[in-house]
């Protein structure tokens, strides 16, 4: 997970899930995010994820940034932003956002992503 927000959010949701204290909104997010992470770990190009590179974010951050669907065909559908690395074979989740309105210029400008964790030594 990206640092610090994604790691914190993931750990918080996991702890609440184990303690059975997730509210309905958190439960929905956790279920969808868990499923997307599972699919991503097996096959980043899984058809249900609709993964594709976001050129504007890749240029902004200086490495390839991908977007995958957590949900689709609903108002405020959420997207998961990720990259490969920092270790070989690893994927790092950098952000969760509502789908930007791509009909507007610079739709991805407001997307703010976490930083990559440092490589292990």
Domain extent listing, the chain: 5-98
Q: Assess whether pLDDT exceeds 90 at residue 75.
A: no
**pLDDT given at position 117:** 87
Q: Assess whether pLDDT exceeds 90 at residue 65.
A: yes
What does 22-76 look like in DSSP terms, one character per residue?
A: --HHHHHHHHHHHHHHHHHHH-TT-TTTT-EE-HHHHHHHTS--EEEES--SSTT
Are residues 116 and 92 in contact, defined by beta-carbon separation less than 8 angstroms?
yes
Least confident of 33-42, 43-52, 65-74, 100-109: 100-109
Mean residue pLDDT across the chain:
91
**pLDDT given at position 110:** 83
Q: Assess whether pLDDT exceeds 70 at residue 104.
A: no
**pLDDT given at position 120:** 73
- Beta-carbon contacts of 33 under 8 Å, excluding residues fewer than 6 positions away, are 10, 13, 70, 80, 96
C-beta atoms surrounding 33 within 10 Å: 19
């Amino acid at each position: 997970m990206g640092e610090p927000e994604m790691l914190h959010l993931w750990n918080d949701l996991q702890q609440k899930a184990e303690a059975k204290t997730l509210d309905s909104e958190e439960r929905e997010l956790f279920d969808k995010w868990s499923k997307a992470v599972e699919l991503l770990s097996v096959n980043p190009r899984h058809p249900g994820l609709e993964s594709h590179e976001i050129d504007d974010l890749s240029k902004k951050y200086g490495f390839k940034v991908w977007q995958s669907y957590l949900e689709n065909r609903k108002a405020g559908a959420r997207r998961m932003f990720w990259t490969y690395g920092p270790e070989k074979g690893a994927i790092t989740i950098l952000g969760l956002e509502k789908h930007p309105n791509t009909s507007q210029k610079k739709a991805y400008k407001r997307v703010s992503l976490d930083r990559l964790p440092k490589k292990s030594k």
